[in-house]
Amino acid sequence: MKKVFNTQKATILCVLLAGVLFFSFLKSDRRSFQLAKNIEVFNAIVKELDMFYVDTLDPNKTVQAGIDAMLMSLDPYTNYFPEENQSELEQMLRGSYGGIGSLISYNRKLKHTVIAEPYEGMPAQLIGLKAGDVILEIDGKDMTGQTTTVVSENLRGEVNTSFNLKVERPGVEKPIDFTIVRKSIQLPTVPYYGSMEGNVGYINLNSFSGNPSKEFKEAFLDLKKNKQIQSLVIDLRGNGGGLLDEAIEIVNFFVPRGKTIVTTKGKLKQASNTYKTRREPIDTEIPIAILVDGGTASSSEILAGALQDLDRAVIVGTRTFGKGLVQVPRALPYGGTLKVTTSKYYIPSGRCVQAIDYAQRDEEGNLSRIPDSLTTVFHTEAGRLVRDGGGITPDITVNKTKFPNILYYLLNDNLIFDYATKYAMNHPTIAPAESFELTEANYNDFKTLVKNSDFKYDQQSEKLFKALKEAAEFEGYLTDGQEEFAALEKKLSHNLDKDLDYFAKDIKMLLCNEIVKRYYYQRGAIIQQLKDDNDLKEALNILNALEEYKKVLSVAKN
């Protein structure tokens, strides 16, 4: 009897399983039909438009617009690169391209693109181009009024090809002609490293493209050997990420072999992987502080987050960007490539730092960050509380300095840039970046330049006062408060001289940065910025107080 009952139960289970499989098959088959149907409809629409639309269609533009609209409904990291744009993808993956090695910017007053910052050791700098040079022609093509995108496309090309460049240089009467050979531009991923007071090493890591782990390792070993550093600051601010393996390699310098650093999870099995440290570390004891901000993303968050989860470094700064998505390139017909998001990554505590759920949009299609109230608590190796869903939250948060409104207008009108160009014309050399300072005479020259340029800018206080006055009049308070309003309006009156003096410290900082770049390039600019850096100050404070450093990385005892 028991045997008959078990047979019946088995039969029922088989029937239920068959039903589940059947309905799963139907669901899968229905989805396949919907996919095939919509592809067929899309093809039919393209063909009908091409045949009957009143104007002749460009098939490349029409289909590309359809592809772009489809991808825009997903996330901003899933992109299609047709054959002609493969160089853009290569630059993204490898951090290199064929060009002259210079930042360019558009000057609205001149209606021309100008050389903004030649990179040290690159063709632009080696041949003698300078910041401020106005690009007139490229291979005889007039660049007047052309966007920076168009100018950039003409500057870039196949490695070892040459072209003619005509520029106008401030202070020089006639245009200057250059013949430049394009080279493979691989920007340094460690543009500067050095030692700070208290035997603290500093490494600026600005990208995970190319081979940053090699450059980082060389810098770290040099600091240990020649500078005898006892602790380390890793600056990841503004580092938008890059190659996953490179981040894991750098983590491995500081943690033992066999540690799980990243786990990726996707829809397909091949998108799910576990990445562990594979080599013996360089130094598992040196105290580390990592500087982060809102521009720290992707692989940078893996490096910072893994060392935080493993209680191996103190994180200093502001919350990071929150990109926990992984992309891989997929080959397409006719030489195209699809860079597609295939998985999410999870750092050692098990948390994902992704801050935006691109599958969840409101009725108008808008996105928002995951609110803190919906995030989940995880724990570091030592048991400290950390959260998912919103980037990496620093162990020590530093309030960002708010720059005055006048600075944005000075930058937008190119007055900081123009003064640095004028300064460089009159000063063949300057003091080393570490000791360079702007004199009061120099700053007075800058103020004269600003006033002679008919500089105009909005003051937020004046706007708010006007709104307050209108509200007071509407509510009937203006008449009784006429005298007080008049006194306040007088105090808030537009006074350029006063503002240039009141905000002199902030303005001088930007002026010094722009000037130093003309002589010492990116390395000099970083040295200049570090002179008054609140994040760095906090990092140095914690590294020079080891007991406090250990306390941050441990769980508070009740």
Residue 247: strand pairing partners:
none
What residues are labeled active site? 298, 309, 323
Name the residue type at position 16. L
Which of these, 375, 245, 402, 409, lies nearest to 318 by C-alpha position?
Answer: 402
**How far is CA 461 from each of CA 143, 466, 468, 505, rounded to the nearest angstrom?**
41, 9, 10, 20
- Between helix 59-72 and helix 2-52 the angle, nearest 10°, is 140
How far is the C-alpha of 421 from the C-alpha of 367, rounded, in Å?
Answer: 42
Q: Residues 275, 281, 287, 292: is their CA dihedral positive or negative?
A: negative
DSSP state of 531: G
Helix (H) or strand (E) holding 539: helix 534-543
- Between helix 244-252 and helix 212-226 the angle, nearest 10°, is 20
258: left (phi over 0), alpha (psi -120 to 50) or beta: left
Question: Cα dihedral angle (192, 194, 200, 201), rounded to 10 degrees?
Answer: 60
How far is the C-alpha of 151 from the C-alpha of 137, rounded, in Å?
Answer: 9
**Helix (H), strand (E), coil (C) string for 289-343:** EEEECCCCCCHHHHHHHHHHHCCCCEEEECCCCCCCEEEEEEECHHHCEEEEEEE
Residue 68 burial (10 A CB sphere; 0-12, 13-18, 19+): exposed
